[in-house]
Amino acid sequence: MAAMNQDEMKTVRYLKFSGKQEDWDEWSQTFLALARARDYAGVLLGKEEVPRADEVLDPANKAHEMKIMNRRANEQAYLALELSTEHLAFNLIMLAKTDDLPEGCAKTAWNNLKEEYDLSEGEDKIELLTSFQQNKLEDARINVTEWLTHLAIQVTKLSKLGHVLDEEYQVTHILASLPKEYSGVVEQAKIDQRAAGNQLDLKELKKRLKERHLQLKKDHGWKDDEMALSMKGNNKQGQTNNKLPRGKYFKGRCNHCGKWGHKKSDCWDLKNKKEGDQNKEKKDKSHIKCFYCGKMGHYESECQTKKRDKENGVERQPENQENFSMMCYKSNDDSEQRHIWYPGYGYGEHD
């Protein structure tokens, strides 16, 4: 594989793939966009033929010009895949070293990734349709634009599988899947439908919903990422969020760790950090000196030496009272004589 010069290495940036199923769609589309910008999308998708590694090509021969370009594009595409993946995904890239291209075939590598992560290749039409029908905007704080985008992706996938959802069906589903905060939009859509005698335009409905969401954000002071839509309903531990009604999950991104499926208040990273800080604060007694045994790291009330001495009937002078003395004040009261003792520090002996 041809080495990249220093200038190229400084300017090229690679988008890492997490290897998680839920990240595939976004990462693959972004990677393809970069591939088009860098002129190796053709070999990646198999639209351009890459010559065998043992085929001798002459740069001076114009007939070989395209083959040389495709060979170079394949090298760049394969290198980009290598540097963008890890773990299982990286191993799938490594399996793309063929007899014709022992240094790596970008097309084969890409196909290996698609077979592993692209669910649209084998998605079940009924399951996908059911998922669409159950996809509702459960909470008004969820970004309605992201929810509508998710619906549009499902519609596109169904269309590829031969099941087309017309615009009227989509509008009906959206209007029936909104929380009470959008009731004004729903009622207005019904009024417009009765007046015009036909269904509200999908584009117009999306516009109204976005405007309503912006107004809700302004009225309630919601942050943009407070409850971004998640495609998965599990928290970090893979369990349902017990604070929500049964069968429903938190569909947002954590404002602390940035991961999907749980709130900041339920974030395990934050809880572990707080617990760690509390434990550290409790255990950090290195600067504490015991008044009984004189050792560092604990209070007198926690002193094990004092506890043992008490159990064994042993009496000892506290370590920090080396210069401790008692001063006596004699009171000549009419009723009785009494001696009152006051502790003193730094005094010598007194008669």
Percentage of residues of the chain with pLDDT beyond 70: 68
Predicted local confidence at residue 49, as pLDDT: 93
Rounded to whole angstroms, the Cα distance separating 235 from 253 reads 10
> Which among 45-54, 291-300, 306-315 has the top mean pLDDT?
45-54
Confidence label for 173 from pLDDT (cuts 50, 70 and 90): very high
- Reported as a single tens digit per residue, the pLDDT across 238-252 is 333 333 333 334 445
In a domain, 55, yes or no: yes
- On whether both 82 and 153 belong to a single domain, the answer is no
Range with the lowest mean pLDDT among 30-34, 42-46, 169-173, 318-322?
318-322
Mapped onto helix, strand or coil, the DSSP state of residue 80 is helix
- On whether both 19 and 110 belong to a single domain, the answer is yes
Range with the lowest mean pLDDT among 78-82, 155-159, 232-236?
232-236
What is the span of the domain harbouring residue 92?
Answer: 6-121
Measured torsion, CA atoms of residues 229, 233, 238, 244, in degrees rounded to the nearest 10:
110
Predicted local confidence at residue 283, as pLDDT: 65
The total number of structural domains in the chain stands at 4
- Reported as a single tens digit per residue, the pLDDT across 34-88 is 999 999 999 999 999 999 999 999 999 998 999 999 999 999 999 999 999 988 8
pTM of the model: 0.43
In a domain, 129, yes or no: yes
In a domain, 166, yes or no: yes
Boundary residue ending a domain (96, 121, 146): 121
In a domain, 268, yes or no: no
Q: Which residue do the tokens 């008004």 mark?
A: 140
